[in-house]
Structure 1
Amino acid sequence: MRRGAVIAATAVLAVGGAAAVTVLADGFVLPGTETPAGAAGTLPAATAAVKRGDLVDRQTVSGALGYTGERTVPNNTPGTLTWLQAAGSVVTRGRTLYEVDRRPVVLMYGTTPMYRDLRYGVSDGPDVEQLERNLKALGYGNDLTVDDHFSPTTADRVLEWQDDRGLEVTGTVTPSTVVFLPGRVRVKEVSGATGDKSRSGKPVLTVTGTRQVVLVDLNVADQQLARKGAKVTVELPGGTSAKGKITEVGTVAQLPSTSGQQANPQQATITIEITLDDAKKAGGLDQAPVSVDLESEKRENVLSVPVEALLALREGGYGVQVVQGGVATLVPVEIGIFASGQVEVDGTGLSEGTKVGVPRS
C-alpha cells in the first residue's frame, strides 16, 4: 500500500518507577500496553467509526465541450461563393452545403470520397453503390437495384434527382455537385463569405459530426487515469454536472505548439473523448470549458478512517488509536489510497464500526 503525508503525532518514551512503560506524547499506548481511562490525557478528544466500503481517488482535469469527426470540406469547382451554410447549422443527406455560381453542392452519406464523375458506362465501384444507396434513401430508388453497377435505371434516377434539386440535368454526378461524408454534419466554421472567389481545392467549410462530447488533452504522465469505459463526472458551465464515460483514448502523443522554441516532451498530451449520458445537459455549447473528475484509483470493500485519525510512529509507519471499553490502544496500520478525506487502513483487530481517535472538530 502506498503512503502519503498525514497529520503526525510525536512519540516519546516515558519511564516510571522500576518498570518501563512505552507511552505516546498524548498518553496513547503502544500495542500490548494499556492506560486506564481515568488517567489524564489517555482518551482522545473525539472518536470516529472505521468504515467499510469502496474508496475512490479522483483527479480533476480541464476539458472542453466539442463534437466528433472534425474535417474540412474543400471546394471542387472554381467560381464565386453565392451561398454558404451558417456556423452551427446541421446539414443532412440531400441538403445543400454551399453554392458556387448558384449551383448547389449537395451532401450525401458515404465513406468513399467523390473522386470521379459517375455516369452510365463508368466502371463498377463502391462509389457507385454509395450513390445508389443515397438516391434510394432520398426517394428515387423504387425500381433501383443498389449495387456497384451504374445501370440505365441509375442514370434515370440521377436525371430525376438533378431536375428536382435544380441542378444541371445531365445524368452525370460530379465532384463539383456532391460531397460524400460519413453522416449528417454540423458546420463548425465557415472559411469564406458570399461573393468570395473560391478556387478548386480551397477549404470552404469545417464540419464535425453531430455527437457532442467532452475532449480532454491529458498529460501523458497521467494517462493511467484514462481507461476506456471508465465513468466520469463533468462539471458544466453554469454549475451543473453530468455523468459520462470515456469512449476514446488517444494513442498518439502531441506536443504543444511553440513559437520557434523546442517543445518540452514532458508537456506532451493525449486526447481523451468523453460521451455524456445526457448530451442535452450541455445545451449544444461548443468549445465551452469544463472540468472532469477522473477516477485515478479505486479500492473495493476496504476499511478506512478519517485522515486525521492517523498518527506517525517514531519507529516509522502509522497507527490509529483504538478506543474500546474505556481503554485507548495504539494499533499500527498499513495505509492505502487517500480519497474524500478518508484513508484505507489495514491493522490487527480493526473492523467496521471500531472507534478510533480523532481531534475534536
Structure 2
Amino acid sequence: MSGGSGAPGTRRRARIIAATSLVALLVTGAAGAAVWSYGSGRTVTAGTASDPSAQTATVTRTDLSNSRTLDGTLGYGRATTVRANATAGANGGGTVTWLPADGTEVTRGKALYRVDDRPVSLLYGDLPLYRRLDTLNTVGRDVRMLAENLVALGYTIGNQPLPGQTVNVRLPDPDPDQGAGADEAPSRDADRDTDPSPDASTPATGGSTAPPTTKTASPSYLPVKVGPDDGVLTQELIDAVKRWQTYLGVPATGVIDASDIAVLKGAVRVDSVQVQTGDPADGPMLKATTTGKAVTLSMEATESGGIKRGQRVTVHLPDESTVPGKVSSVATTAEPAGAEQGPDAPPMVTVTVTLDNEAKARKFDSAPVRVDFAGESRSNVLTVPVTALLSLREGGYGVQLANGKLIAVTTGLFSKGQVEVSGDGLAEGARVVVAS
C-alpha cells in the first residue's frame, strides 16, 4: 500500500490528532513543528477511495482579516493574593488586628494590614524580603530594595558601597551553650572547681568572692564583594530604618523582619479581604489589584495566537467615547469555560488591556466595553477551516480532497477558525475533509 493510503478510520484519527496539535501550537504561538506525519512526499494520492462518511468543507475564495472586536470588562484588572509572611519576627505568626476596607488604595510606606497592632507596610519592588536584616554590612538585592524604598520615602541613607567593592560582614557569635571546642585543652585551674578547701574560693584577706572571668572570643568577619544589583546594610541605612520605625510608632531597633513589610510591584487597590480581625496571620490576607483602570476579556484559546503583548487596541467606553490602549498580558494557561457556556465550550484565555488615558475611564467603576484589535488583512485568497489541515512528515501542512488526494499547502493568515492556503491542484469550490 502506498504511503498515502490507509484505513479510513486511521486517517480520521490521525486528522483529529493533527488538528488538535495545530490548535495547541496556535495557543502557544509556535505553529511550526509537526507532531504527526502523513505521507512521504509533498503531494500524495490515496490508494483507496475516501471514507464516504467523512465530513467535508468547501474551499472558498474570500477576504480574510484577523481584526476583531471582543467584549470585555472595565475595572482594575486581575486581583492578586497578598499573603502574610509567617516567618519568625515581630509580625510573624501573630494575630490580625486591622484590615483595610475594600476599595482602599495603599501606596508606598502605608499599612496594608496590622498584626499584633503593628503595621505591615507596603514597599515597592520585584524581590520580596526573605530574611531578617539585622547584621551590619549585610549584602543583597533585598537590601537594595529596602534602601531604594527609604530614599523614595524621603529618608537619607548615606553613600552605598559601589559594585566591586568588598565589605566585611560580621559572622554570628559562637553559641555560648556549646562550651569549649572539642580541640581546646582544659585549663590548668580546672581542678580548683572541685577543691573542698574553704580557702580555695575565699581570698586570704577575707573579702568577697572575686567574680569569675570569662574568655571573650574576637568577632569573626567574612569579606563579601558587592554585586551590581546589591545593596549594603550600612550604619547609615540602619539609622534610616530607625527613623522610619519611629515614624511608624514601633520600637526603633533598626532591624527589619520579613514579616514587617509586604513587597509588591506598586501601589494597590484592595479588592477584597480574605481574613477577619482576630484570625492568625499565616496565610492569604487580601486580594489586591493595581490602582489603574484596565480591561479584562476572555477569548477562545484557539483564537489567541494572534494576540501579542504590546499590541495596540481601541477601547469603546459606555459613553460611546474611545480610548487607545495596549495588551499588557496574555494568559499562558487556558482555563475551562464558565458553566453558563456549557460543557462543550472551548477553553478560554484571559487578556488584559491597559489604557493610555485612564482619566477618561475613571468615572466608570466597572462597566462592559468593546475592544477593537487591529490586525492583518488578505484579499481574494483561498481559505479552508483550520481543522482541514494535516501535518506532513517533512514539515508543513496539507489538505485531503474528498476523493482522497492529499495536497501540500502553504498556510497564511489565520482568523476565526479559517486559514489562508495555497497549493498546486487546490481550487475554489473543491471539497476538503475536516476533522469530525
In the alignment, which residue of structure 1 is the partner of 2:300?
A: 219
Q: Which residue of 2 aligns with 1:278?
A: 357
Q: How far apart in 2 are the matches of 1:204 and 1:251? A: 26
Q: Matched residue of 2:349: which SS?
A: strand
Alpha-carbon shift at residue 64 of structure 1 (Å): 1.1
- Separation (CA, whole Å) in 1 of partners of 2:237 and 2:308: 47
Q: How many angstroms does 1:250 deviate by?
A: 3.1
Alpha-carbon offset, residue 148 of structure 1: 2.5
For 1:314, the equivalent position in structure 2 comes to none
Conserved in 1, the CA contact under 8 Å of 2:147 and 2:157? no
CA contact (8 A) 1:247 1:274 kept: yes
Does residue 134 of the first structure (1) align with residue 180 of the second (2)? no
Residue 82 of structure 1 pairs with residue 97 of structure 2:
yes
Separation of aligned partners in 2, 1:106 and 1:226: 37
Partner in structure 1 of residue 50 of structure 2: none
Q: TM-score, normalised by structure 2?
A: 0.50
Query: Are 2:106 and 2:122, in contact at CA under 8 Å, matched by a contact in 1?
Result: yes
Contact kept in structure 1, 2:136 and 2:235, CA below 8 Å: no
Mapped to 1, the partners of 2:253 and 2:328 lie a distance apart of 45
Alignment match, 2:237: 154
- In 2, Cα distance between equivalents of 1:191 and 1:211: 22
How far apart in 1 are the matches of 2:366 and 2:94? 33
Structure 2 residue corresponding to 1:251, chosen from 319, 332, 347? 332
Matches within 5 A, 1:113-262: 113-121=128-136, 123-145=138-160, 147-193=230-276, 196-224=277-305, 226-256=307-337
Is the 1:60–1:291 Cα contact (8 Å) retained in structure 2? Answer: yes
Greater share of helix residues, 1 or 2? 2
From the superposition, tell whether residues 135 and 295 of structure 1 become closer, same or farther in structure 2 (CA, over 3 Å). closer
Task: Provide Cα deviations, 1:53-74, integer angstroms capped at 9, x if missing partner.
Answer: xx97753322112335632112
Match of 2:53 in 1: none
2:76 corresponds to 1:67: yes
CA RMSD of aligned residues (A): 3.3
Q: Which runs of 5+ in 2 are unaligned?
A: 1-58, 86-91, 162-229, 381-412, 414-436
Aligned to 1:101: 116
Paired residues of 1:78 and 1:197 also in contact (CA < 8 A): no
Unaligned runs of 5+ in 1: 6-54, 303-336, 338-361
Q: Give 1:44's aligned residue.
A: none
Q: Is the 8 A contact 1:132 1:141 kept in 2?
A: no
In terms of fraction of residues, the more strand-rich structure is 1
Partner Cα distance (1:122, 1:85) in 2: 36
What SS does structure 2 have at the residue aligned with 1:197? coil
Say if 1:275 and 1:100 are closer, same or farther in 2 by CA, change over 3 A.
same
Post-superposition CA distance 1:34-65 (Å, at most 9, x none): xxxxxxxxxxxxxxxxxxxxx97753322112
Whole-angstrom distance in 1 between the partners of 2:268 and 2:275: 18
| Residues paired across the two proteins, number | 248
Equivalent residue letter for 1:140: Y
Task: State the SS of the aligned residue for 1:114.
Answer: coil
CA contact (8 A) 1:56 1:295 kept: no
Given residue 278 of structure 1, which amino acid in structure 2 is its aligned partner?
N
Change (3 A) 1:296 1:206: same
Deviation at 1:163, TM superposition (A): 0.9
Query: 1:329-340 counterparts in 2 under 5 A?
Result: none
Matched to 1:189, the amino acid is S
2:310 and 2:95 mapped to 1: Cα distance?
47
Residues 225/129 of structure 1: CA separation in 2 closer, same or farther (3 Å cut): closer
Q: Deviations over 1:159-186 (max 9, x none)?
A: 1111111012221111222111122222
- Structure 1 counterpart of 2:256, one-letter code: V
How many angstroms apart in 2 are the aligned matches of 1:109 and 1:118? 17
Contact 2:77 2:290 in 1 (8 A): yes
Match of 1:30 in 2: none
Q: 1:277 to 1:139 in 2, by over 3 A?
A: closer
Partners of 1:225 and 1:162 lie apart in 2 by: 50
Hey, what's the Cα distance between the residues in 1 that align with 2:311 and 2:139?
A: 45
**Separation (CA, whole Å) in 1 of partners of 2:270 and 2:372:** 30
Answer whether contact 1:79 1:197 (CA < 8 A) is retained. no
Partners of 1:242 and 1:150 in 2: CA distance: 46
Question: What's the offset of the Cα at 1:283?
Answer: 1.7
**Percentage identity across aligned positions?**
36
Task: Give the deviation of 1:224 after TM superposition.
Answer: 5.0
Q: Is the 8 A contact 2:330 2:349 kept in 1?
A: yes
